[in-house]
Amino acid sequence: MTIGFIGVGEMGFGMAANLLKHTFSVVAVDTDKKKLDCIVELGAQIGKTPADVASKSDIVILCLPRPNISRRVIFGNTGIVQGNFQNKTLIETSTLTPEVAVDFYERLKHLSIDFLSAPMFGGATAAREGCIHFVVEGDKATFQANRNILLAMGRKITYVGKPPQATLAKLARNICRFANVATAIEVIHFLRAYTKKVLPIYNIIAEDSKTNFDSVWERTMRPYALEEMPYKASHISVKDLRIVRQLARQKRLDMPITLATFSVHKRLRS
């Protein structure tokens, strides 16, 4: 089986390299010649355009930075749909918007092209090590037929239905992840304002976070995800947040996320 791979950058290179390790043939294209040279050294062939890659491949995988680039690569003048790609499969691993995911799915189905959107959990290291978690949306039969391709690049695959289910899962997960990172930065600034021995406290929080974050979603939020009911923060310790707010003001610390959290929970309790 020959797999076309469009976009062999930070993430795509590791993914394409793992396909080659699993003895798939790979035809790649990228706007960066140096990146192409690197994947060619591992055994890939070079395609001239996305259409050329599509004409030479049974499956095409996209790993591109933005939805508008994916749209151009798929539907443009030298795009995939111009490459005699009917009755084949396109797998998009880039993060799309819900509207774009649905649009791609419907337009490609009309052109007799099977489409899977498979946004990824994991960075460049996970891509190189084959440890990506793919969350997949599209027709179930298409997913099952191409599951081995995804397993060649990742360690875990979760099928969630038709678009935009996987796209929404990726966006929701990243909201949580990056909000947590931003809050952690505030916490470090807060600790440094009061102690020079940050590391012991950091280790406690780091260890607790392995279960704390899970418990919020598995126990606290589950009733609200399953039922249409207003969220009440009665179990949240607003008292502790109030103390942090006072301490932050005393030290003139910029802690917008912490202060916003206090404000929200206080309002929800009232």
Does 133 lie in the same domain as 89?
yes
Q: Which of 123, 13, 29, 127 is nearest to 79 (CA)?
A: 29
Instruction: Compute, in degrees rounded to 10, the torsion defined by CA atoms 11, 16, 22, 23.
Output: -170
Are 97 and 23 members of one domain? yes
Q: State whether 151 and 232 are in the same domain.
A: no
Statement to judge: residues 158 and 180 lie in one domain: no
H or E element, residue 140:
helix 140-145
Give yes or no: residues 146 and 234 share one domain. Answer: no
For CA atoms 228, 230, 233, 235, give the dihedral sign: negative
> Own/partner pairs for 67-73, CB < 8 Å, 24+ apart?
67/94, 67/95, 67/96, 67/97, 67/100, 70/94, 70/96, 70/100, 70/104, 71/100, 71/104, 73/6
Task: Tell me the residue range of the domain where 252 lies.
Answer: 169-269
Looking up tokens 């084959």 gives 130
- The number of folded domains in the chain is 2
- CA 150, CA 41: separation in Å to the nearest integer? 22
- Is residue 156 domain-shared with residue 176, that is, in the same domain? no
For 101-117, what is each residue's pLDDT tens digit?
999 999 999 999 999 99
Name the helix (H) or strand (E) containing 60: strand 59-62
Give the domain CATH number at 241: 1.10.1040
**What is the tens place of the pLDDT at every residue in 200-217?**
999 999 999 989 888 888
Predicted local confidence at residue 264, as pLDDT: 83
Task: Note the pTM of the prediction, 2 decimals.
Answer: 0.89
pLDDT at 270 over 70: no
139 and 201 belong to one structural domain: no
Q: What is the pLDDT of residues 38-96, one digit of tens each?
A: 999 999 999 999 999 999 999 999 999 999 999 999 999 999 999 999 999 999 999 99
Nearest to 96 by CA among 167, 166, 157: 167
Check residue 220 and give its pLDDT.
81
Q: 201: how many CB neighbours lie within 10 A of its CB?
A: 14
Judgement on whether residues 93 and 203 belong to the same structural domain of the protein: no
What pLDDT was estimated at residue 143? 98
* Same domain (yes/no): 154, 182: no
| CATH code where residue 19 lies | 3.40.50.720
C-alpha closest to that of 119 among 89, 88, 91: 91
For residue 117, the surrounding DSSP H or E stretch is: strand 114-117
Tens of pLDDT, residue by residue over 114-143, are 999 999 999 999 999 999 999 999 999 999
Q: Are 61 and 28 in contact (CB under 8 A)?
A: no
Residue 267 pLDDT > 90 = no
Q: What's the pLDDT tens digit per position in 240-266?
A: 888 999 999 999 999 999 889 888 887
Residue 259 and residue 148 share a domain:
no
Name the amino acid, one letter, at 211. Answer: T
CA 66 to chain centre: 12
Convert the pLDDT of each residue in 139-170 to its tens digit: 999 999 999 999 999 999 999 999 999 999 99
Q: Which of 137, 162, 187 is the last residue of a domain?
A: 162
86 DSSP assignment: T
Share of the chain above pLDDT 70, in %: 97
Q: How confident is the model at residue 235 (pLDDT cuts 50, 70, 90)?
A: low
CA atoms within 13 A on the CB side of 106: 8
Average pLDDT, the chain: 93
Domain boundary among 113, 132, 162: 162
The answer on pLDDT for 237 being more than 80 is: no
* Residue that terminates a domain, selected from 110, 137, 162: 162
